[in-house]
Amino acid sequence: MPISIATKRQRACAALMRQVHAIEAAEGPTPSVLHAIKQKLVALANKTELFPLADFEMPVSQGRNHPLLVEENDGYGLYLTINLPGKEAAPHDHGIWCVNAAVSGIEKHEFFRRTDDGKTPGHAQIVKTGEVVVRPGQGMAMADHDIHSTIVEGEEPAIGLALYGYALARFPAVVWFHQEFASTRASPSRRLAA
């Protein structure tokens, strides 16, 4: 009996997670480790036959995350993301590392650095430091407390893989930055809720 696509996808995701744990165990989430993880995630995203759209519900509006492999407790979370054309997210800090790779479509990530001392609640100043376009064959990696914004470019949805240092249900507070107003706000932490 042939193996289903869902089973092949599940096995490939489990294999990726074993590789990620082996890579990360050596020295933690350093830039070189995150780059190595990104390469593994890009390789998985290139196996487009494992991610047919018929297996995943499209978003009703803007975007949707589909869990592929979510570890217990403080483990990692691997998701298939579908973001519609034009979807954007203001500059934000997840509070945890993440790596993205594209299955299809184009998503631009702009990166920022905070320039104030962080001592005034609700106040923040950021400056753009660079950008990466995530498209098939390419990915991006962010360390803890890196700041990025995103926008889906083109006429097609951006479908990708996202791997986080914590599952989404256990995210620390996400900090949002409003560059025009030099202000910031944080969403509630999910660390204790999960």
Taking 60 as the threshold, does the pLDDT of residue 194 lie above it? no
Euclidean distance between CA atoms 174 and 155, whole angstroms: 29
- Confirm whether 85 is domain-assigned: yes
Euclidean distance between CA atoms 115 and 125, whole angstroms: 6
- Confirm whether 193 is domain-assigned: no
Q: Which two tokens stand for residue 146?
A: 């890196």
CATH for 24: 2.60.120.10
- Write the pLDDT tens digit of every residue in 96-155: 999 999 999 999 999 999 999 888 888 999 999 999 999 999 999 999 999 999 999 999
- Confirm whether 191 is domain-assigned: no
Largest CA distance in the chain: 63
**pTM recorded for the entire structure:** 0.93
- Write the pLDDT tens digit of every residue in 18-66: 999 999 998 899 999 999 999 999 999 999 999 999 999 988 888 899 9
Domain range for 111: 5-186
- Confirm whether 141 is domain-assigned: yes
Number of domains forming the structure of the chain:
1
- Confirm whether 11 is domain-assigned: yes
For residues 150-166, one letter each, b for 16 or more C-beta atoms within 10 angstroms of the residue's C-beta and e for the rest, the string is bbbbeeebbbbbbbbbb
- Confirm whether 194 is domain-assigned: no
